[in-house]
Chains A and B, each alone.
Chain A
């Protein structure tokens, strides 16, 4: 059984950036016998199926990358390859890498990956007590709750797919936690709640536990989150790539956010340069994506490196320059590596991503509204299906009969709809749809909702801020760009495009829409005292006396006459005269 700790951080340079950290603990199918059970799960829930698919794709991708990188290494540096062979391979292994991708918008996309693989068995009864590279705190959570897979991400900001293209690993704004349990776990709700509380040690605040998917959109990355996260790495932030993640620089400094394309360097962005790899890491590399820069006319990278690597990433064949930090030669004579990217041309248009999505709330007033989800298929001639997963809190009462799906002005009937209605205060709406997106089109999904009036103790301390609705998740197998260009003029062996390769013909993408902020009808919380006073007054004075007037019958009571009058009347009576 493998345990894999992948940690990752995206940073994009010019001003706007997004950041995410992932722990992905997975029990790879190759070394365990759990594969079959996992497939069973996949049949039960389409979401799990998609998730599994993604991991499969992810695994392949990274194996390919590593294989090629290794090949490169062997080709160019002969001495290095003998090192792993002579030392017996330890049972746990740590790798770190940084991928830098200069975007056409002039932004720089930097993605950190830290991976710890540990071949051990948590589940076989014997308590694991010795931890070397793998963080103990995480290991305990995994063994205690029989977690099969754990996936946590914190994200701040929003990944602008339109401008920056697909990220290597997408995640929704806020925090997201996916957990898959072993089959031995029966009480999923209880266990997941406990599990959430345990993992909450890594973050500041906790959202309500939702069975196996926890997604509080307001949870954001901050220094308090990043520091414990860095502690999970074998070298901490003392050595290796993690030294770049100085929180004060990441969170408090200006990101040279001039518009237009400027010079970029590691030092400018992180106020650090690299001097060594993490000594515990078996591999420590920096990749720079130079695919769009074949002749060096877009930008110039210095120091130059002879190492190149190719990989198919997100359906596109990319070329990377590789800097191996385990090699002293990388750091040169000054013993420090400060990568520099100098833009040469200010032009260049980003190829629009084939699939992206946006979402917004339409309408006004505090009674009803409408959620619009727009999904763009920018492929010129291929249509492809997407799986749209929406989890909407119960306090937006979805009118599911108003659900419409339209593409190109025509009704687009989803081939599969799964809807789980919400229960007030218990569970959210869950809406899953399989929709075919026609080529070069916008598909719009709309559904109306009513805003619920909460109980007064259910409002958050800042109710006028509004309530968040988490991102919808769009998962799809998108036709790859490699398969798209039929008349390629690039120098490639002819046979490579003769039969379209199945692996490359489509790739898995998960797109997150922006979260929504919805205002609910909110009472004025300074009013209860006034309201109580007023209500009591109205009830006591107004209603009481009105009720009195309406229900009683009144009779005129003769007032008892005065003494003089009474005497006079007695006299009159005696005289036989009518009384006064």
Chain B
């Protein structure tokens, strides 16, 4: 860096950066967005390939014959489910035992922090039933899991039927080297959470469950099966798990490879693969697929029962049968063969799945974008923050130009006072804490005083606290440290911009999608806001680009991507339910998106709001 050690050139470089700061920022932003959009363009992406040797060249034969019998079992299960009004525990235990499994049950109960109106549950009590097929020659050190949820109504009966059919068929095979656990979980994710916590003897969410009696060692991989019709047109693969975690790409490759082999239509995000990548519609199709994945990943919630396995370093995916109006149908025997093939390959694993990528986006099932390709898009957005910070640093340093060495005068620097920076920081974070705690705390009081349900109370309190935060803190620093100075807001902005850069950087490392979406909206805010821009217009833009509005737009955008456009009224209701779901995900499964937004992102945004109204 001779460039920097030469003071003249350094000065020239700095002056270039400060003079051209705004254009460079704009170019970076455009480049970041363009790079991101380019990720879905097929020539820029890589074809998926199987990295794991143990699953690659070894041939397996799929011979599962009894799809019809599995469907009959499913119907029987459905009848018993109706009679029992929930999980038919006794019937399942007996049926699994008859298939030669070691059967165990687990009871669990959980009282939600507030009623879940989407799924209509508040005090949840249930039972998981699981049977272990012991590997003939393995000492209980490794296991694979196949799970199917027991859902109310007529859903997923076929999945349970097929699970039992596969259990019976697998029992007669001698090549199993890993125990196979067949799990039927009640109350979808809550049951799964209870089972996983029981299996690993942890308690992260304060749920009550009875300890598990039987185990199969360390779980290597898991599939969750959802199947609600006798024949299907395609199989959909769901990868997005808790906090945006994804299973190893080899699991997706495995699914894709067997769909190709057996001839089952396979989709991801419900989107079939298309070959016309060079046409506009082909490109927009893959953009749509990728954007769906980005939105789902950014939400941080598990999009299938598999999502909770990922926390325990167990590679897992949900396989969902979809029955649409297409002509070509696949029967249950074929799905059974597909799963048999996948389990036989997983059974061959010598090590955990680790060879392939853990961080990727998929514009189609046969192509993926690895972390090395998508990170520059985020990097281009993040560099804007650094450029602005450099600009501010230089501006703060320039007034004492008399000193020739360029080192800013310390007295000049400290003149704004620590308090003028610290006060907004503390106040905005306290607002964040209020946003995190008050909705749950005050739900009862709100229900007493207003004609709303508990769920509405929580969501509306959250929105109220959020809005109140806009009015509250932006002038308080004056009480403590007198008039805000020009230096003052610059120091505050410098702090805020660096804070945001670190925050977004860390978020993007863990959950790229969330980091990128937040960067897309918050970076422009951070870049342009000063006390000297037109107040009303800027305030409007700031509100539009705030995290809450980002969420609102995301909801509409997501509906648009799924090709179910919604009216504003419906969209608003959806928005409210998304907020309540987000809060519930945090308390039930430990999703980190709600605390991240409430405790860090929102306070950071408030700092910029504060700068806008600096006096």
In the complex, are the beta carbons of B7 and A556 less than 8 A apart? Answer: yes
In the complex, chain B residues whose CB is within 8 Å of the CB of A554: 5, 7, 405
In the complex, are the beta carbons of A259 and B100 less than 8 A apart? Answer: yes
A370 at interface (Cβ–Cβ under 8 A)? Answer: yes
From A185-193, A196-204, A269-277, A354-362, give the one contacting chain B: A354-362
Q: What string of 1s and 0s marks CB contacts (under 8 Å) between B54-81 and chain A?
A: 0000000000000000000000000000
From B134-142, B263-271, B458-466, B503-511, give the one contacting chain A: B134-142
A163 at interface (Cβ–Cβ under 8 A)? Answer: yes
From A58-66, A152-160, A423-431, A497-505, give the one contacting chain B: A152-160
From A230-238, A311-319, A398-406, A461-469, give the one contacting chain B: A461-469
B345 at interface (Cβ–Cβ under 8 A)? Answer: no
- A365 to B141 CA separation, bound complex (whole angstroms): 18
A517 at interface (Cβ–Cβ under 8 A)? Answer: yes
B5, B173, B200: the one contacting A363 at CB < 8 Å is B200
In the complex, are the beta carbons of B352 and A465 less than 8 A apart? Answer: yes
In the complex, are the beta carbons of B141 and A515 less than 8 A apart? Answer: yes
Q: In the complex where A257-B100, A259-B171 touch, is A516 in contact with B201 (Cβ < 8 A)?
A: no
In the complex, are the beta carbons of B352 and A362 less than 8 A apart? Answer: no
In the complex, chain B residues whose CB is within 8 Å of the CB of A464: 351-352, 354
B188 at interface (Cβ–Cβ under 8 A)? Answer: no
Q: In the complex where A362-B200, A465-B350 touch, is A158 in contact with B139 (Cβ < 8 A)?
A: yes
Q: Tell which of B4, B140, B202, B311 has the most Cβ of chain A within 10 Å.
A: B140
Which residue from chain B places its CB closest to the CB of A155 in the assembled complex? B139
CB distance from A82 to the nearest CB of B (A): 47
Q: In the complex where A363-B202, A519-B352 touch, is A258 in contact with B172 (Cβ < 8 A)?
A: yes
Q: What string of 1s and 0s marks CB contacts (under 8 Å) between B202-243 and chain A?
A: 100000000000010110000000000000000000000000
Which residue from chain A places its CB closest to the CB of B217 in the assembled complex? A517
In the complex, are the beta carbons of A361 and B5 less than 8 A apart? Answer: no
Q: What string of 1s and 0s marks CB contacts (under 8 Å) between B165-202 and chain A?
A: 00010011110000000000000000000000000111
- A160 to B216 CA separation, bound complex (whole angstroms): 12
A135 at interface (Cβ–Cβ under 8 A)? Answer: no
In the complex, are the beta carbons of A358 and B142 less than 8 A apart? Answer: no
CB distance from A483 to the nearest CB of B (A): 28
- A174 to B201 CA separation, bound complex (whole angstroms): 26
In the complex, chain A residues whose CB is within 8 Å of the CB of B26: none
In the complex, are the beta carbons of B141 and A468 less than 8 A apart? Answer: yes
B98, B174, B218, B354: the one contacting A254 at CB < 8 Å is B174
In the complex, chain A residues whose CB is within 8 Å of the CB of B168: 259
In the complex, chain A residues whose CB is within 8 Å of the CB of B313: 364-366, 519
In the complex, are the beta carbons of B102 and A163 less than 8 A apart? Answer: yes
- A370 to B102 CA separation, bound complex (whole angstroms): 25
In the complex, are the beta carbons of A254 and B172 less than 8 A apart? Answer: yes
- A260 to B172 CA separation, bound complex (whole angstroms): 12
From A43-51, A111-119, A302-310, A545-553, give the one contacting chain B: A545-553
CB distance from B69 to the nearest CB of A (A): 15
B1 at interface (Cβ–Cβ under 8 A)? Answer: yes
A100 at interface (Cβ–Cβ under 8 A)? Answer: no
Q: In the complex where A363-B202, A545-B5, A554-B7 touch, is A516 in contact with B137 (Cβ < 8 A)?
A: no
B1, B8, B141: the one contacting A548 at CB < 8 Å is B1
In the complex, are the beta carbons of A364 and B4 less than 8 A apart? Answer: no
Q: In the complex where A174-B139, A466-B218, A514-B141 touch, is A552 in contact with B5 (Cβ < 8 A)?
A: yes
Count contacts on B: residues with CB < 8 A to the other chain.
38
In the complex, are the beta carbons of B352 and A549 less than 8 A apart? Answer: no
In the complex, chain A residues whose CB is within 8 Å of the CB of B98: 259-260
CB distance from B549 to the nearest CB of A (A): 36
In the complex, are the beta carbons of B201 and A17 less than 8 A apart? Answer: no
CB distance from B500 to the nearest CB of A (A): 24
A56 at interface (Cβ–Cβ under 8 A)? Answer: no
In the complex, chain B residues whose CB is within 8 Å of the CB of A372: 201
B99 at interface (Cβ–Cβ under 8 A)? Answer: yes
- A220 to B141 CA separation, bound complex (whole angstroms): 13
Which residue from chain B places its CB closest to the CB of A12 in the assembled complex? B136
Q: In the complex where A15-B171, A158-B138, A545-B4 touch, is A360 in contact with B352 (Cβ < 8 A)?
A: no
- A220 to B98 CA separation, bound complex (whole angstroms): 30
In the complex, chain A residues whose CB is within 8 Å of the CB of B404: 556
Which residue from chain B places its CB closest to the CB of A365 in the assembled complex? B313
In the complex, are the beta carbons of B142 and A156 less than 8 A apart? Answer: no
Give chain A interface residues in 318-348, CB to chain B under 8 Å.
none
In the complex, chain B residues whose CB is within 8 Å of the CB of A370: 201
B312 at interface (Cβ–Cβ under 8 A)? Answer: yes
Give chain A interface residues in 500-542, CB to chain B under 8 Å.
514-519, 522, 524, 541
CB distance from B182 to the nearest CB of A (A): 13
A178 at interface (Cβ–Cβ under 8 A)? Answer: no
In the complex, are the beta carbons of A361 and B171 less than 8 A apart? Answer: no
In the complex, chain B residues whose CB is within 8 Å of the CB of A518: 218
Q: What string of 1s and 0s marks CB contacts (under 8 Å) between B304-317 and chain A?
A: 00000001110000
Q: In the complex where A255-B174, A257-B174 touch, is A156 in contact with B137 (Cβ < 8 A)?
A: yes
Which residue from chain B places its CB closest to the CB of A460 in the assembled complex? B351
In the complex, are the beta carbons of A157 and B137 less than 8 A apart? Answer: yes
CB distance from B274 to the nearest CB of A (A): 33
In the complex, chain B residues whose CB is within 8 Å of the CB of A157: 135-139
Give chain B interface residues in 501-541, CB to chain A under 8 Å.
none
In the complex, chain B residues whose CB is within 8 Å of the CB of A163: 102
In the complex, chain B residues whose CB is within 8 Å of the CB of A102: none
A16 at interface (Cβ–Cβ under 8 A)? Answer: yes
CB distance from A189 to the nearest CB of B (A): 28
CB distance from A104 to the nearest CB of B (A): 13
- A259 to B95 CA separation, bound complex (whole angstroms): 11
- A251 to B248 CA separation, bound complex (whole angstroms): 33
- A468 to B139 CA separation, bound complex (whole angstroms): 11
In the complex, chain A residues whose CB is within 8 Å of the CB of B173: 254
- A524 to B356 CA separation, bound complex (whole angstroms): 11
B139, B215, B311: the one contacting A360 at CB < 8 Å is B215
Q: What string of 1s and 0s marks CB contacts (under 8 Å) between B151-175 and chain A?
A: 0000000000000000010011110
- A259 to B311 CA separation, bound complex (whole angstroms): 35
- A258 to B173 CA separation, bound complex (whole angstroms): 10
In the complex, chain A residues whose CB is within 8 Å of the CB of B171: 15, 257, 259
CB distance from B314 to the nearest CB of A (A): 9
In the complex, chain A residues whose CB is within 8 Å of the CB of B218: 361, 466, 517-519
In the complex, chain A residues whose CB is within 8 Å of the CB of B138: 157-158
In the complex, chain B residues whose CB is within 8 Å of the CB of A14: 100
Give chain B interface residues in 98-143, CB to chain A under 8 Å.
98-100, 102, 134-142
In the complex, are the beta carbons of B350 and A462 less than 8 A apart? Answer: yes
- A462 to B52 CA separation, bound complex (whole angstroms): 12
CB distance from A373 to the nearest CB of B (A): 12
In the complex, are the beta carbons of A360 and B174 less than 8 A apart? Answer: no
In the complex, chain B residues whose CB is within 8 Å of the CB of A257: 100, 136, 171-172, 174
CB distance from B453 to the nearest CB of A (A): 36
A393 at interface (Cβ–Cβ under 8 A)? Answer: no
Q: In the complex where A464-B354, A465-B352, A514-B141 touch, is A255 in contact with B136 (Cβ < 8 A)?
A: yes
CB distance from B315 to the nearest CB of A (A): 11
Q: What string of 1s and 0s marks CB contacts (under 8 Å) between A421-449 and chain B?
A: 00000000000000000000000000000
In the complex, are the beta carbons of B137 and A220 less than 8 A apart? Answer: yes
In the complex, are the beta carbons of A549 and B137 less than 8 A apart? Answer: no
In the complex, are the beta carbons of A173 and B1 less than 8 A apart? Answer: no
In the complex, chain A residues whose CB is within 8 Å of the CB of B201: 360, 362-363, 370, 372
In the complex, chain B residues whose CB is within 8 Å of the CB of A260: 98, 100
Given contacts A15-B136, A155-B139, A545-B5, 5 further A-B contacts (CB under 8 A): A16-B136, A464-B351, A517-B142, A545-B4, A554-B5
**A contacts, CB < 8 Å to B:** 14-17, 155-158, 160, 163, 173-174, 217, 220, 253-255, 257-260, 358, 360-366, 370, 372, 462-466, 468, 514-519, 522, 524, 541, 545-546, 548-549, 552, 554, 556
Contact sample, A vs B, 20 pairs, CB 8 Å cutoff: A15-B136, A15-B171, A15-B174, A163-B102, A174-B139, A255-B174, A360-B215, A364-B312, A465-B351, A466-B352, A468-B141, A514-B139, A515-B141, A516-B141, A519-B313, A545-B4, A545-B5, A548-B1, A548-B5, A554-B5
